[in-house]
Chains A and B, each alone.
Chain A
């Protein structure tokens, strides 16, 4: 099965890295949609269907925490599984993001294996 992934990170380099890791992990991508912040992510979600969201937290304009808050309040988007990928692995932050509905939390730096395992878990698949 091919998946549609929304990557939300203000660093184009990090988006490119994650996209490459996903492909190298054996996931078949139907589309990898990218957004530089939470506001752009919501805009893209309004136009594109996705299977999973990978989001950073610390971003300009709308950060990942506000994005998760808005996703959790949206009947259209709240069932899309979301995984946080962030340098911030403090306990208060992790608890808030899980409370907002994040189904996975990956702390940067991360291994390709941890990203693959998180995706397999939320997508209910194995590659």
Chain B
């Protein structure tokens, strides 16, 4: 288990990875923003990824529904009106996987890493304590991330 990485380090790595994933794979830009209102957060489509290896913990991410559909259309090269719910689910789970994996690879490059299969959760799902949160805004809506180390 790594003893040098702090939750703040990991949160910073998540922010960097989120920007890289959105820009490289979706040609989208995101900017840090203040925490979203609770009502907006509860409407988000949320994904959870557990991780183990040099660090053990949990990553959560929520997408505004409109953004999730826009990202799916960009990823698959289709029209936003044509994407299915299944495709949206697949793309946001893959996006969570890429952000979490890229963040851990940046911060624990010399350690082994294992990611759980990303799982859709309700945005209102009860969250254990110890999460560090960050929110970002894009022209199509917000993304909120949370990460904690056990």
A93 to B72, CA, bound (A): 29
Contact B102 A89 (CB under 8 A): yes
A90 at the interface (CB under 8 A from B): yes
A42 to B45, CA, bound (A): 35
Contact A93 B113 (CB under 8 A): yes
Q: Using Cβ atoms and an 8 Å threshold, which residues of chain B touch A93?
A: 112-113
B97 at the interface (CB under 8 A from A): yes
Contact B113 A11 (CB under 8 A): no
Q: Using Cβ atoms and an 8 Å threshold, which residues of chain A touch B111?
A: 90, 92
Closest to B114 in A: A58
Scan residues 82-112 of chain A and give those whose CB is less than 8 A from a CB of chain B: 86-93, 107-111
A89 to B98, CA, bound (A): 11
B10 at the interface (CB under 8 A from A): no
B5 at the interface (CB under 8 A from A): no
Contact A14 B94 (CB under 8 A): yes
B108 at the interface (CB under 8 A from A): yes
Q: Using Cβ atoms and an 8 Å threshold, which residues of chain B touch A20?
A: 76-77
Closest to B91 in A: A13
B residues whose Cβ falls under 8 Å from a Cβ of A: 20-21, 24-25, 53, 72, 75-77, 87, 90-91, 93-94, 97-98, 100-102, 104-105, 108-115, 117
Would you give 11 A-B contacts (Cβ < 8 Å), ordered by A?
A10-B117, A13-B87, A58-B115, A87-B100, A87-B115, A90-B53, A92-B110, A107-B102, A108-B25, A109-B20, A109-B24
A residues whose Cβ falls under 8 Å from a Cβ of B: 10-14, 16-17, 20, 58, 60, 86-93, 107-111
